[in-house]
Amino acid sequence: MASIVSLQIGLVRRAAAGPSSAVRMGAVHACVDLFTLSLAVSAGFWSWSLINPATPPHPHAMWLAVALASVGLTFYGLYPGIGMTAVEQMRRTTHGITLVYILLLASMFVVRDWWAASRGALLLSWALCLLFVPPGRWIADRYLRSRSWWGVPVMILGAGETARMIVRKLREQHVLGYRPVLCLDDDPQKHGSCQGVPVLGSLEEAAYFARIYQTNRAIVAMPGLSRESLVQYLERWSQIFPKIMIVPDLFGVASLWIEPRDLGGVLGLVIRCNLLNPVNRSLKRVADVVISGVGLLLSSPLLAVAAWYIKRASPGPAFYTQAREGRNGQLIHVVKLRTMYPQAEEMLSRYLAENAGAREEWTRFCKLKRDPRIIPGIGHFLRTTSLDELPQLWNVLRGDMSLVGPRPFPRYHNERFHDEFRALRTRVTPGLTGLWQISARSDGDLDAQKALDSYYIRNWSPWLDAYILVCTIRTVLAREGAY
């Protein structure tokens, strides 16, 4: 144990020689945002100069927009942005940039001669900033997460099942910016390792290890700890860590849009059920109608070509409908491009009867990586690119489905879930894409589907939908987890 601690001390001292992790992360995020803002604003003004030659392609006002947008992002706490989900980063980025551009547009009426020729350019650069900045940050986080200096070191207080889950989540959600460096637990049997993070001592040694590891953040991952013990520990830990996060025993409750409230010295948590708000539902429906309508018009030539190839490769109709469970348990008929042979069900039954490994895979995923039912060539292409789902834009336009939501599953798939989860899924309109599709897709088993769909339903917001739509484009282009 002593040798492990000595080794860790050496590593920490070398890391501590430079700027703190939070400062480094903030500086990197600021540079990345400055680059994407400059790129977006330059592209906006240059593109508008092609439409309106009277507008100079690179006026000095352009750099004012970049500078003020950077200030706006700073004002919204995005540097370093530790502990913010990608959805929250998108929300704050949109608010910060939009606020700056509203002020710039308003200033046109005060200094009309200076801004009049750039009004269209300003609006275009605003749209491009919203389009460029969030992906730029995510790409930087994805590239830098493997660096040893990236991420703010955090101590995990506890080494049980909850601590293991927290470590896994922090590594999966690298955008949060936390790097678990050690765990502490009073149970000697848990000392050693927790998901690859060293468990080096007891809770009483928090001050010692915080000094060694140069960490000022801690996560209390012991939801089973009694209230009296937790209060006593927090009295001590609050003198060590300026920031302490407590993981309560509230698993299964919405987590994205919770707000703390002081009820006369008693902590209260406000949970917003966004999908019950009629205004939110109306906004979601308007977005569905507009985007699905435009999407159908733009994709109609592609659908026609795909239908022609399908009929050449396999006899039968190019499109087919399948009955699935919709909102409130009502039956809906989703439209898809046909990617399987007409006798698909008989082929599946024979294949599963003859292959034990395939039966196990089907039981776990309700999918097969090597599915004999799929039409070679065009069928595989449509499924790996998810283009077979495009006709469901018609379902979205009709109101049977939404652009984002839990996927509507066939009857045999739904029967694998227990009644409580099925009831939860039917509270919302099923979606063309969802959190499962961008996180696990076909590689996610039934447990992953349940966890991700539950998270989406309990934490829905327009920002979460926007994030999923953006990530869907990346997932489809990369063909991740589809077969």
pLDDT > 80? residue 165: yes
Report which of 392, 368, 385 is spatially closest to residue 320, judged by C-alpha positions.
392
Return the structure tokens found at 445: 């088993």
pLDDT > 90? residue 272: no
pLDDT > 90? residue 17: no
Q: pLDDT tier at 442 (50, 70, 90 boundaries)?
A: low
pLDDT > 90? residue 53: no
Strand partners, 430: none
Q: Nearest 5°: phi and psi at 109?
A: -75, -15
Report which of 150, 149, 153, 148 is spatially closest to residue 216, judged by C-alpha positions.
153
Count other Cβ atoms within 10 Å, centred on residue 223: 16
Q: Burial letters for 171-184: b for 16+ Cβ neighbours within 10 Å, e otherwise?
A: beebbbbbbbbbbb
Q: What pLDDT, on the 0 to 100 scale, is given for residue 6?
A: 47
Average pLDDT over residues 101-106: 86
Q: pLDDT tier at 10 (50, 70, 90 boundaries)?
A: very low
Return the structure tokens found at 324: 């699935």
3-state class of 426 per DSSP? coil
Dihedral of alpha carbons 311, 316, 317, 319, sign: negative
How far apart (Å, rounded) are the C-alpha atoms in residues 478 and 480?
A: 5
Q: pLDDT tier at 167 (50, 70, 90 boundaries)?
A: very high
Average pLDDT over residues 37-46: 91
How far apart (Å, rounded) are the C-alpha atoms in residues 365 and 443?
A: 8
Question: What pLDDT digit, counting tens, does each position of 104-121 carry?
Answer: 888 777 665 544 457 788
3-state class of 19 per DSSP? coil
CATH number of 151-249: 3.40.50.720
Return the structure tokens found at 135: 């992906």
Residue 258: CB partners within 8 Å, gap ≥ 6? 269, 270, 271, 272
Report which of 402, 414, 417, 407 is spatially closest to residue 462, judged by C-alpha positions.
402
Return the structure tokens found at 339: 């990617």
Q: pLDDT tier at 18 (50, 70, 90 boundaries)?
A: very low
pLDDT > 70? residue 390: yes
Report the predicted TM-score, pTM, of the whole model to 2 decimal places: 0.77
pLDDT > 90? residue 403: yes
pLDDT > 80? residue 456: yes
Question: What pLDDT digit, counting tens, does each position of 324-353 carry?
Answer: 888 888 889 999 999 888 887 788 888 788
State the Cα angle at 162 between 159 and 253, rounded to 5°.
Answer: 160
How far apart (Å, rounded) are the C-alpha atoms in residues 401 and 429?
A: 6
Residue 452: CB partners within 8 Å, gap ≥ 6? 434, 435, 436, 439, 440, 444
Domain map (residue ranges) of the chain: 21-144, 151-249, 278-339+374-478
- Which of 108-122, 214-228, 285-299, 414-428 is predicted with the least confidence, judged by mean pLDDT? 108-122
Dihedral of alpha carbons 420, 421, 426, 428, sign: positive
Average pLDDT over residues 398-418: 86
